[in-house]
Structure 1
Amino acid sequence: MNFIQKSIFITVMLLMIVSCGNDKKEVSGPPTVKKVDPEMTIKEGKGIGEIKHVELNDPLDPEMVKRGKSIYELKCAACHKLSGARVVGPSWAGITTRRKPEWILNMITNVDMMLEKDPSAQKLLEECLTRMPNQNVSIGDARDLLEFMYQNDADNAGK
């Protein structure tokens, strides 16, 4: 009896496997992540980090600008001024004309790696003599800061 039960069980299992396994459906797997050479992103002026491309808003999003201003006042204003004056860190005046948006976001969100490997960030460190602290700014908050930077540069254009 035991042999018959085992035989039936094995037969049923084989039928289930065969009947379920013959459909050739194309299933898309998880999205592939393109490996990006850090040296190439440095050469392109985008810095080192998660940010490889930034879609800019035209016109600027006023809500993002408002949130960015709040984040600036909380986490950035002690070291960075909006005008041409340098305090501890470099001024934000004209930053969006000097740097690519990807570089700015990578510097905000990946400051330690940027200061370690990015030549432009290293040059700023030599000039300012103070290492920018990691403020644990999320990518979303960094994007709001970038929007605020663009607004600041637009407000101060020609001054």
Structure 2
Amino acid sequence: MKRSVLLAVLALAACDEKKPEATTVQPVQVAPPVEAPPAKTAIEVPEFVISTAAADIAKGQEVFAAKGCTACHKIGGGKLVGPDLKGVTARRDEGWLKKMILRPDVMIKEDEAAKKLFVEHLTPMPNQGVDPKSELPFIMAYLKSVEQ
């Protein structure tokens, strides 16, 4: 009988143990990630006076054709793949034109006017690798010559 009583006491003692309380998990409020504005890519633009010399304009027309610009752009006559460039130097700022000619890939990503042109024409202007010193001044002379 001692054995039975002992077992009964042990059984009751085991039943009296407190169970661990269930813990509730509180949801953590996570703030949405804040994107930093993209850094603007610096495009080095050479400063020069746009030439009006006939030889520079002719050289600019040659470079314009050699770089393949005529595949997408007309000078007068309306849009081809890209916009008509007749009068572009009157419509656009000189610095903007230089940047667009030198780094159209960057301009399409970062410049609002270039983004609008992309949406309008649905074709990005490819980077033609125009040399800022030996080719850009002549292209600008040619574009300035067809202003009107």
TM-score, normalised relative to structure 2: 0.66
Q: Name the residue aligned to 2:101.
A: 108
Q: Which has the higher contact order (CA 8 A, sep 6+)?
A: 2
Q: CA deviation at 1:56?
A: 3.0
Structure 1, unpaired ranges of 5+:
1-37, 40-46
Larger proportion of helix? 1
Please state whether the residue corresponding to 2:115 is helix, strand or coil.
helix
| Percent identical | 30
- RMSD in angstroms over aligned alpha carbons? 2.0
Q: Find the structure with the greater CA-based Rg.
A: 2
2:61 paired residue among 60, 66, 69 = 69
Q: Give me the whole-angstrom Cα distance separating, in 1, the residues matched to 2:46 and 2:112.
A: 17
In structure 2, C-alpha distance between the alignment counterparts of 1:147 and 1:48, rounded to whole Å: 24
Match of 1:99 in 2: 92
Residue pair 1:68, 1:147 contacting (<8 A) in 2 also: yes
Letter of the structure 2 residue corresponding to residue 95 of structure 1: V
The aligned residue for residue 127 of structure 2 is: 134
Residues 1:55 and 2:49 aligned together: yes
Q: 1:145 aligns with which of 111, 135, 139?
A: 139
Aligned counterpart, 1:87: 80
- SS of aligned partner of 1:143: helix
Q: What are the Cα deviations for residues 117-153 of structure 1, in whole angstroms up to 9, with x where unaligned? A: 0111111000000011111111131221110011112
User: Is the CA contact (8 Å cut-off) linking 1:48 and 1:113 kept in structure 2?
Assistant: no
Shift of 1:54: 4.0
